[in-house]
Structure 1
Amino acid sequence: MPTSRTYAVVLEPEPDGGFTVRVPALPEIVSYGDDEAEALAMAEDAIRLVIEDRQARGEPVPVDAKPLIHEVTVTLAA
């Protein structure tokens, strides 16, 4: 029976366009997409592959822990 899991995905905009994709719960995943939709599709594929590989090796599959994201403002000397 198929199961589903949900993971937080971080899309980091790249200066020349596109997004770098990271999955905090699965740190081995670093991917890229030309736009947001492609980046999310790449994340989905990567997550599926990592989970399948971990299961095949008998390794635990981590559950997602929602990352806390904060902004910090710093003042720089002129």
Structure 2
Amino acid sequence: MANEFGYTAVFEPAEEGGYIVTFPAIPGLATQGETMDEARAMAADCLRAYLESLRKDGEPLPYEAPEGPITERLTVELASA
């Protein structure tokens, strides 16, 4: 039986290009990707692997209040003037 867990991920542009992803509720856990889509996929894989390793070792999962703010940069295209 699968359980779903949600954690806030912060995507920051890297100086050398791409994005660095961190998790405020899990200090030290980070990954990166060349594009936002790749960074998002890498973040999900990184988070899943970390949480699975905690479960395997019998450690408690990090807690993050579900009512906290969620931020994501949105890009829109405007019609030509």
Same-fold status (TM-score > 0.5):
yes
Question: 1:34 is matched with which residue?
Answer: 34
Indicate the structure whose relative CO is greater, using CA pairs within 8 Å and at least 6 residues apart.
1
State the identity as a percent. Answer: 38
Q: TM-score, normalised by structure 1?
A: 0.77
How far has the Cα of 1:27 moved from its partner?
1.6
The 4+ residue runs of structure 1 with deviation greater than 6 A are: none
How far has the Cα of 1:18 moved from its partner?
0.2
Q: Where does structure 2 lack aligned partners over 5 or more consecutive residues?
A: 72-81
RMSD: 1.9
> 1:44 & 1:53 partners in 2: Cα distance?
14
Q: TM-score, normalised by structure 2?
A: 0.75
Matched pairs, number: 69
Question: 1:63 is matched with which residue?
Answer: 63
